[in-house]
Amino acid sequence: MFRISNHYVSKIVAVLLFIELGVLFAAGYLGVNLRFMGKPEYLSDFRQFWAPVGVTALSILLGMSAVGMYQRNIDENLRATLLRLMPSFGIALLVMMVVFYAAPELSLGRVLLVIVLLLSALGILCVRTIFFRLVNSPMLASPILFLGSSELVRDCMETSHQNLRNHKYNIVGTIPVAGEDSTLAMLVEPAGSLLETARKYKAEEIVVAVQNRRGGALRIQELLECKMKGVRVTDAAGFFEREACQIRLDSLHPSWLVFGSGFDQSLLRTFFKRSFDLITSCIMLPLLSPLMLGAAICIWLEDRGPVLYRQERVGKNNEHFMVLKFRSMRVDAEKAGTPQWASSGDPRITRVGNVMRKYRIDELPQLFNVLRGDMSFVGPRPERPYFVEQFAREITFYNVRHCVKPGITGWAQVRYKYGASKDDAVQKLQYDLYYVKNNSLFLDVLILIDTLSVVIFGAGT
């Protein structure tokens, strides 16, 4: 893993992306030669094709990203790749149509474009088949030791197994800690100091997952010695942040938030984020206006009720505002007067509302909230005051999510299912904390791309 603008990026995914970018340019070069074979006047200067080939390659990469082909846990088998390539190429064609309409000189031409797309698809299938076999080789696995013998260690181990697209680990065992009961089966016999134990088992990293750090259980001097001798030392909170892209509450200490990096709230970051929100909203509103008009007509035709509804939500610095949404429930959805979670198969949701929720169409009027400055395009989901008061009392660090503007979409929305309970709120908070800590323009763009995948496949509802 490495970091770009504070966000952890998988080295495996980055390498795959650059290899496939090269494959796409190679497909463009080969396609031009096949198309104009025997016509040297076209092939004498290939530089004239670099810009059109570049637009095609970047459009395909955007389409592949939008359908989740660069997510860390994507299944690498041939069938899954084929099923995702079809919609990704469809998105790429839509993007190219817009670009070619605005700049016709960037078009490859229909025949050449078909050839390049076929070669690109073949190249990507071959690359992924070989690449993932190499990545899964045991030779590339990094030996790792865990210090501790509690449930926190078990959670760390499960996380390391679930994120194989990030990095492949060879868990050599856990070093027991006095005072912690354990039923883990992977305890190793210490060989003197931590450094000696790490060298005995050839561990490249020690993850500290000690829940009770009092009484010398943390072994600071020995951990410092390991770090000075080239063995990486990571605490559990940092490990979860790196591998799961979330900040786990059960591993978190207040000092880690206070003294750690991130939480950029500078004027420069605020300026760029607000500029990004305004530009994106001004582009999206005209493009999506036909869809919004169609949704409004369908809502009215179903039950002749109001098209929009306003609901009080909590925003930045705990300030309240009225959010705009397309109405997806019956008019009398909360006739009892008490706020309720929407549940799976909720009878209050209308037929049109069910479709809108699945594809996030009901959220589109919030673009006006973004223009007003109540919300950002990307940020934590704004919750109702009733639930915020409840969660702030029961969930540690819940109010940290209110130090940034709420968003139409966000890290928790694209990484976790729709929340309908306190447990779901805890899980989503862990992703929200990651976003608040590591928010950047780069992460915002990644979330918008992932949002396309959520919308296309109707996930997370």
For residue 217, what are the domain limits?
138-259
Span 12-54, pLDDT tens digits: 888 999 999 999 999 998 998 888 776 666 655 666 788 899 9
Q: Mark whether 180 and 252 lie in a shared domain.
A: yes
Q: Mark whether 278 and 209 lie in a shared domain.
A: no
Q: Mark whether 430 and 284 lie in a shared domain.
A: yes
| Matching residue, tokens 């004027």 | 267
Tell which of 196, 231, 259 closes a domain.
259
Q: Which two tokens stand for residue 47?
A: 């530089």
**What distance lies between CA 58 and its chain's CA centroid?**
20
Span 423-434, pLDDT tens digits: 889 999 999 999
Q: Give 367-374's long-range contacts (Cβ < 8 A, gap of 24+).
A: 367/281, 367/284, 367/285, 367/288, 367/408, 368/324, 369/321, 369/323, 369/324, 370/277, 370/278, 370/280, 370/281, 370/408, 371/278, 371/281, 371/282, 373/274, 374/315, 374/321, 374/322, 374/323, 374/405
User: At 421, phi and psi to the nearest 5?
Assistant: -165, 175
Q: Mark whether 435 and 342 lie in a shared domain.
A: yes
Question: What's the pTM?
Answer: 0.89
Q: Mark whether 19 and 71 lie in a shared domain.
A: yes
Better pLDDT: 76 or 378: 378
H, E, C per residue of 85-110: HHHHHHHHHHHHHHHHHHCHHHCCCH
Q: Mark whether 209 and 344 lie in a shared domain.
A: no
Contacts of 42 (CB under 8 A, 6+ apart): 32, 36
Q: How far apart are the first and last CA of the chain?
A: 30
Distance CA 66, CA 448 (A): 9
CB-CB contact of 6 with 444 (8 Å): no
- Domain of 152, CATH number, reads 3.40.50
Q: Mark whether 281 and 427 lie in a shared domain.
A: yes
Per the rule left: phi > 0, alpha: psi between -120 and 50, beta: everything else, 397 is left
Residue 169 has pLDDT above 60, yes or no: yes
Least trusted range by pLDDT, from 123-127, 324-328, 329-333: 329-333
Tell which of 223, 240, 259 closes a domain.
259
Rounded to the nearest 5 degrees, what angle is found at the Cα of 381, between the Cα atoms of 414 and 434?
65
Q: Which two tokens stand for residue 158?
A: 């499960």
What is the identity of the amino acid at 264? D
Rounded to the nearest 5 degrees, what angle is found at the Cα of 166, between the Cα atoms of 164 and 172?
60
Mean pLDDT of 151-155: 86
Residue 316 has pLDDT above 70, yes or no: yes
Number of domains the chain contains: 3
Tell which of 113, 135, 157 closes a domain.
135
Q: Mark whether 250 and 287 lie in a shared domain.
A: no
Local confidence band at 453 (pLDDT 50, 70, 90 cut-offs): confident
